[in-house]
A and B are shown apart, each in its own frame.
Chain A
Amino acid sequence: MSRRLQIGRITGFIIGDAQAERAVPPTGFTARLTVFAAAVMAFLAVFALALSVASSGLAERWSQELAQSATLRISAPIGQMQAQTDAALRVLETTPGVASARVLSDDEQRKLLEPWFGPDIPLESLPIPQLIEIVETEDGLDAEALRTRLVGEAPGAVLDDHSRWRKPLAAAAGRLSLLGWLSIGLIFLVMGAMITLAANAALAANAKVISVMRLVGAKDSYIANAFVRRFTLRALAGAALGTVLGLVAVLLLPSPGDDAAFLSGLGFHGVSWLWLPVIPVVAGLVAFVATRAAARRTLKELR
């Protein structure tokens, strides 16, 4: 089929056939049901999409950012703390894969403990371990080899390469993202089922119209198009409305502060905004396919 013919068919579908539109009277119940179902499903799809996009971003961030860093924790009697810290730093300086190593200051350590103990912790008088932040090179470091070397040089040092908690968290976030996409798929499946029910009701209500049109020489495609076009446009309009309402609801979510860093990624960022206009388009496609199948099934029962 030539491109011009295809464009012509698409344009013809959107504009519609005024006579066919008049021949098939609209049924208020099915029209309202289709618009309502599409709007509600699109509203839910926006939330599922926001969840999926956010958790996908979270998984990516956790995987990438934390994969390039490690923490060395030195637990030693107060008298040996400085000596073991210096020894550990010396080891790190000569360890392949370490880009930099930095001893966290008392202020930084105090900030880390603030959420649990409050701002006035007497850090100096408490046996708090010393933390060393390690930034890895792109190749990364050999954690096992480093641990072996530290056993001899700084026995109080414990290397945490974050993998113990980073991997399950990244996996959980990845699974959450997958569930979000699965929810979107299910939402569109339910939308298709509801539109099929509405289309079947409309086809049943117009059984006489269909029969008369067929008897005066209408082809199946002509009759089906009158229904398919109507349901597709209704689903498109309903889903567009639902998407806008869903977006407004997402934007009105309370803004998370620093204390709620886990939630700070919820919403849409960058290219993920482009997913939003896809929702009404997919809803329109779902309606197109569902109504077409319903119309073809009904028409096949007639000669």
Chain B
Amino acid sequence: MIELEQVAYSYGDSELFSDVSLTLQPGSFHFLTGPSGSGKTTFLKLCYGELLPTAGHLRLFGSDVRALTRDGIAEMRRRVGVVHQDCGFLDHLPIADNIALPLSVAGQSPASEQENLAELLNWVGLRARAGALPPELSGGERQRAALARAVIMSPDVILADEPTGNIDWEMSQRLLQLLVELNKMGKTVMIATHDLGLIRAAKAQVSARVLRISDRRLQLAGADL
């Protein structure tokens, strides 16, 4: 699904990490931890093709990421749902339209997907807020809306970058619950976070691997997590 083989990434002369090898198997659940600036967000960006590795091989759904055309990258991204740290909403569109944006850009009529959209809004508990603009939503609502947008295309992989960074414990548990549900539906999930409480709560519910970027290497985290 997503395979990294001795991957390295550098910003100019500054190497962020190197020799990273990992395969995200279908249906797996991963946490990615590490101190701020260790490269968690960069790692996720590699996984959906926003960045290219400076060394090594990266295969997304069987294709070498360097060989993908621009249209190929766009099509690949429809198979990867991403919850961005800042959510990345279009502030002038109601939240329902933001959630339906991946359908629109893929050429599917959101009108014909109204039922699915309504179900999705119910699932994330935002049905009553469908017409609200993103700046009118609370942090937790925005994160749930971002998750709804990430899954509307029924992707194979869901990547979440610090999804609970700006929300309270109760809301983060609700969000985690949604991600666990998706994993149980067979989706591959990877969450970049430094919230150890979230990781412990997840491990009580699913079999999750915890990876840590430390000293420019990706390592399996200890059993204390």
Give me the interface of A with B, judged by CB distance under 8 Å.
17, 19-20, 22-23, 25, 208-209, 211-222, 299, 303
Residues from chain A with Cβ under 8 Å of B106 in the complex: 217
| A–B complex contacts, Cβ < 8 Å, 12 sampled | A19-B100, A22-B97, A23-B101, A25-B92, A212-B101, A213-B105, A215-B88, A217-B102, A218-B105, A220-B74, A222-B105, A222-B107
Given contacts A303-B49, A303-B50, A303-B52, contact A214 B104 (CB under 8 A): no
Docked-complex contact B71 and A219, CB < 8 angstroms: yes
Q: How far is the CA of A221 from the CA of B77 in the complex (A)?
A: 16
Residues from chain B with Cβ under 8 Å of A19 in the complex: 97, 100-101, 104, 110
Q: How far is the CA of A220 from the CA of B153 in the complex (A)?
A: 19
Docked-complex contact B90 and A217, CB < 8 angstroms: no
8 Å CB contact of A303 from B73, B97, B149 = B73
CB distance from B201 to the nearest CB of A (A): 28
Given contacts A303-B50, A303-B73, contact A216 B97 (CB under 8 A): no
Q: How far is the CA of A216 from the CA of B153 in the complex (A)?
A: 10
- Counting chain B CB atoms within 10 Å of each CB, the highest count among A19, A208, A218, A220 belongs to A19
Docked-complex contact B70 and A215, CB < 8 angstroms: no
Docked-complex contact A215 and B50, CB < 8 angstroms: yes
- Counting chain B CB atoms within 10 Å of each CB, the highest count among A17, A211, A215, A220 belongs to A215
8 Å CB contact of A220 from B71, B88, B104, B110 = B71
CB distance from A270 to the nearest CB of B (A): 48
Residues from chain A with Cβ under 8 Å of B153 in the complex: 217
Q: How far is the CA of A211 from the CA of B78 in the complex (A)?
A: 15
CB distance from B126 to the nearest CB of A (A): 18
Given A23-B97, A218-B74, output 8 extra A-B contacts at Cβ < 8 Å. Answer: A19-B104, A23-B105, A209-B90, A215-B48, A215-B77, A215-B82, A220-B70, A222-B107
Give the B interface residue count (CB, 8 A).
30
- Counting chain A CB atoms within 10 Å of each CB, the highest count among B71, B82, B89, B90 belongs to B90
Interface residues of B in 33-54 (CB under 8 A from A): 48-52
CB distance from A255 to the nearest CB of B (A): 54
> Does any Cβ of A come within 8 Å of B181's Cβ?
no
Residues from chain A with Cβ under 8 Å of B52 in the complex: 303
Residues from chain B with Cβ under 8 Å of A17 in the complex: 104
> Does any Cβ of A come within 8 Å of B93's Cβ?
yes
> Does any Cβ of A come within 8 Å of B75's Cβ?
yes
Nearest B residue to A220 via CB reads B70
Residues from chain B with Cβ under 8 Å of A213 in the complex: 101, 105
Residues from chain A with Cβ under 8 Å of B70 in the complex: 219-220, 299
Docked-complex contact B89 and A212, CB < 8 angstroms: yes
Interface residues of B in 81-119 (CB under 8 A from A): 82, 84, 88-90, 92-93, 97, 100-102, 104-107, 110
Nearest B residue to A17 via CB reads B104
8 Å CB contact of A217 from B50, B51, B74 = B74
Docked-complex contact B73 and A216, CB < 8 angstroms: no
Nearest B residue to A219 via CB reads B74
Q: How far is the CA of A221 from the CA of B52 in the complex (A)?
A: 22
Docked-complex contact A212 and B71, CB < 8 angstroms: no
Given contacts A19-B110, A303-B52, contact A216 B92 (CB under 8 A): no
Nearest A residue to B92 via CB reads A25
Docked-complex contact B49 and A216, CB < 8 angstroms: no
Docked-complex contact B105 and A216, CB < 8 angstroms: yes
Docked-complex contact B93 and A216, CB < 8 angstroms: no
CB distance from B192 to the nearest CB of A (A): 16
Docked-complex contact B51 and A23, CB < 8 angstroms: no
Docked-complex contact A303 and B105, CB < 8 angstroms: no
Residues from chain B with Cβ under 8 Å of A219 in the complex: 70-71, 74-75, 105
CB distance from B221 to the nearest CB of A (A): 28
Residues from chain A with Cβ under 8 Å of B78 in the complex: 217
Docked-complex contact B90 and A23, CB < 8 angstroms: yes
Nearest B residue to A24 via CB reads B90
Docked-complex contact A216 and B102, CB < 8 angstroms: yes
CB distance from A45 to the nearest CB of B (A): 36
CB distance from B112 to the nearest CB of A (A): 12
Docked-complex contact B101 and A214, CB < 8 angstroms: no
CB distance from A37 to the nearest CB of B (A): 26
Nearest B residue to A212 via CB reads B88
Nearest A residue to B45 via CB reads A303
